[in-house]
Amino acid sequence: MGDVIKLLPDHVANQIAAGEVVQRPASVVKELLENAIDAGAQQIQLIVKEAGKTLIQVVDDGKGMGTTDARMSFERHATSKIEKAEDLFALQTKGFRGEALASIAAIAHVEMNTRPEGEELGTRLVVEGSKVVSQESAVVPKGTSIQVKNLFFNIPARRNFLKSNQVELRHITDEFHRVALVHPNINFRFYHNGSELFHLPVSNIRQRIVNIFGTKTNEKLVPVTEDTHVVNISGFINKPEFARKSRGEQFFFVNDRFIKSSYLNHAVSAAFEGLLKSDTFPGYFLFLEVDPGSVDINIHPTKTEVKFDDEHSIYAIIRAAVKHSLGQFQVAPVLDFEHDENLQTPYGYKDKSAVLPKVTVDAGFNPFAEEPPKMATTKTASASGGGFSTYKPERAPDWQSLYVGLDQATPEVLEGITIESETLTGSIFEEKEEETVKGTTFQLRRKYIVTTIKSGMVIIDQGRAHQRVLYEKFLKNITVQQGVSQQLLFPIELEFTLSEIGILESLRESMEKTGFVFGAFDAGKLELVGLPPLASEQSVPELFEGLLASFREGIPHDGFSQADVFAKQLGKSLAVRTGEVLDEASQMALVHDLFACKEPQLSPFNKTVYITLSEGDIDKKFM
């Protein structure tokens, strides 16, 4: 049998390695930004075109590289971060594998311009598909500028798997946030298609969070600080009332490196136990400092997952620190068993002195006298407003005479008075039809609607039924473009992050077809001047939050699929819920609308809407 194991060619091996490091344009952004930070840059610019599919460029004012280093940086496993295996357990830098530039150059056109400080000339290097096309000396600014063009040009299958520009831009923005949050001492600028999306000047951590997520974020933040020999914790958590239906604002950083950890996330959620609704998630920005030797960051190619030596202790410390901050800043309710409310001075009497009450006694009062003297109200309160007053009512003479003769009253007493008859003089239904309609439905536990049919009875889940009705209605409005809107007397202004505005911008056409009317649609702000008839002003914030949570994981390419998802979420947000009381007319209307739908058996999310109980099924229960 011949030899079957062969060495892969270098260009194939590089493309396989690139698949581990570069999954999408956001992966390139992450690697280039981290390299710029490791180079000691104080000014970093990120320039993106067509969501990174056409161009990704990072410009920094860091140390720069000489001619030899510039050429070596594109070789696999070439790095300046480590020299021996022991260095892996004392890492203080972002990257260390030496695969980033080599992997990027294997699947894109790369141009590097770099010059170290003190040199008159720099180096311009052009690499296409792991092949060095040109290398020459050039006059370039201090630092490094790397342009990555035509990503996945030689792997069309990978390029076809990329999402829409809105989705890819959102992933790039998320990576930019993760890097910028942990380095507030660096000035960042982010441009997309020639427009500046972010300008983050040098600031502290709190101000950097506010600059990224909007000015209203400042009122949400509660500081967290805890120093122990195991871990030092700093950062902020969001107040419970600002919990969201998505996990967007959840950030863990370990030694200035963003990580994902469901275990540590559970520690924060446990601290919020009893303060959040079941379908909401807390927001947090927590920075952990641990001994580099006690954490292994080399367990995943993207370095977003780490392994701690003593993760149980870190879990307990994080949970205690968050719980302490909630109580310290009076965010969480507390019980003080030593406090006596009876001893608490009312606010209105805080600076007033005590006033002794004065009581006036009538010395001539005789309770046994037949006709005691009349006594009016005697006000004895002092001028300062304190004291009491005594009151003696007048005695009505012969009060028994008021009731004499009532037992002998005759109908003639009510002559001349007309009493309205309670008998119905007319009805829009015939008597037989009214008896049929009345009592046909009733609400069970404010969750189910029970109605009768010829063969038995039907039990309908009112929430799922309303979701089905609204879903088909909104989907029809989007398809035939016949949405109805009601104008608002006062416009509603909402604030969102730039990534959230991008999601809503992609949904704008579908929303307008269902009845939403937008005014201003600026960066970070949104103005509503009209709503669908079924949407109330109070439900708008929750409605938009639900839409963002649904579309955060990815917007479908196909327009009809996007409309379908939008109609589902809109129906879910506006449908009646468990606990809402429906009158009989509303119950009947919902039943009729449900069975007029194309698919009444299932909700938009493929859950059972109703069940039937035949007369035979009921009879079996009594056998």
For the chain, the average pLDDT equals 79
Q: What is the DSSP string of 377-435?
A: -EE---TTS-S-EE--PPPPTTGGGGGTTGGG--GGGGTTPPPPP-S----SS-HHHHH
Most confidently modeled range among 83-97, 262-276, 416-430: 262-276
The verdict on residue 593 lying in a domain is yes
Say yes or no to pLDDT of 541 above 80.
yes
Work out the pLDDT band at 86, boundaries 50, 70, 90: low
463 and 603 fall within a common domain:
yes
Say yes or no to pLDDT of 274 above 90.
no
Say yes or no to pLDDT of 198 above 80.
yes
Range of the domain at 26: 10-200
Give the three-class secondary structure for 525: strand
**Count of domains forming the chain:** 4
292 and 318 fall within a common domain:
yes
303 and 224 fall within a common domain:
yes
30 and 128 fall within a common domain:
yes
Give the three-class secondary structure for 549: helix
Work out the pLDDT band at 160, boundaries 50, 70, 90: confident
The verdict on residue 411 lying in a domain is no
CATH code of the domain in which 278 resides: 3.30.230.10
The verdict on residue 342 lying in a domain is no
How many angstroms separate the CA atoms of 573 and 566, rounded? 11
The verdict on residue 123 lying in a domain is yes
pLDDT on residue 20? 60
Work out the pLDDT band at 438, boundaries 50, 70, 90: very low
**Residue that wins the pLDDT comparison between 302 and 602:** 602
Residues 6+ apart with CB under 8 A from 461: 447, 448, 603, 608, 609, 610
pLDDT on residue 84? 56
Residues 6+ apart with CB under 8 A from 582: 443, 449, 462, 576, 590
462 and 592 fall within a common domain:
yes
The verdict on residue 436 lying in a domain is no
Q: Which of 18-32, 197-211, 431-445, 451-465 has the lowest mean pLDDT?
A: 431-445
**Residue that wins the pLDDT comparison between 417 and 611:** 611
How many angstroms separate the CA atoms of 134 and 110, rounded? 11
**Residue that wins the pLDDT comparison between 278 and 86:** 278
Q: Which of 121-125, 181-185, 231-235, 411-415 has the lowest mean pLDDT?
A: 411-415
Work out the pLDDT band at 505, boundaries 50, 70, 90: confident
Mean per-residue pLDDT for 191-204?
Answer: 91
pLDDT on residue 355? 76
What's the pTM?
0.69
**Residue that wins the pLDDT comparison between 120 and 278:** 120
Contact present, 154 and 490 (Cβ < 8 Å): no
Residues 6+ apart with CB under 8 A from 313: 230, 231
pLDDT tens digit sequence for 341-373: 555 566 556 666 777 777 777 777 887 777 655
pLDDT tens digit sequence for 28-44: 999 899 889 988 899 99
Most confidently modeled range among 76-80, 88-92, 279-283: 279-283
459 and 608 fall within a common domain:
yes
182 and 246 fall within a common domain:
no
254 and 156 fall within a common domain:
no
Please count the helices (runs of H) and the strands (runs of E) in the chain. Answer: 16, 24
The verdict on residue 403 lying in a domain is no
Domain stops at, among 140, 170, 200: 200
Percent of the chain with pLDDT strictly greater than 90: 29
pLDDT on residue 123? 93
Residues 6+ apart with CB under 8 A from 6: none
pLDDT on residue 371? 63
Say yes or no to pLDDT of 533 above 50.
yes
Q: Which of 256-270, 473-487, 577-591 has the lowest mean pLDDT?
A: 473-487
106 and 15 fall within a common domain:
yes
Most confidently modeled range among 89-103, 240-254, 433-447, 588-602: 588-602
Say yes or no to pLDDT of 396 above 70.
no
Q: Which of 43-52, 369-378, 410-419 has the lowest mean pLDDT?
A: 410-419
Q: Which residue has the tokens 């914030």?
A: 541
Most confidently modeled range among 157-161, 299-303, 413-417, 600-604: 600-604
The verdict on residue 335 lying in a domain is no
Q: Which of the 8 DSSP states describes residue 65?
A: -
pLDDT on residue 23? 84
How crowded is residue 82: how many other Cβ atoms within 10 Å of its Cβ? 15
Say yes or no to pLDDT of 149 above 70.
yes
CATH code of the domain in which 33 resides: 3.30.565.10
The verdict on residue 590 lying in a domain is yes
Mean per-residue pLDDT for 541-561?
Answer: 66
CA-to-CA separations, 417 to 405, 407, 414, 420, in angstroms, rounded: 20, 20, 6, 10
Q: Which of 327-341, 474-488, 559-573 has the lowest mean pLDDT?
A: 327-341
User: Between the CA atoms of 17, 19, 22 and 25, what dihedral angle is there, to the nearest 10 degrees?
Assistant: 150
CATH code of the domain in which 526 resides: 3.30.1370.100
CA-to-CA separations, 595 to 201, 387, 588, in angstroms, rounded: 59, 70, 11
35 and 127 fall within a common domain:
yes
374 and 293 fall within a common domain:
no
15 and 162 fall within a common domain:
yes
pLDDT tens digit sequence for 375-391: 444 444 444 444 444 44
Work out the pLDDT band at 601, boundaries 50, 70, 90: very high
Domain stops at, among 174, 200, 226: 200
Say yes or no to pLDDT of 435 above 60.
no
Say yes or no to pLDDT of 144 above 60.
yes
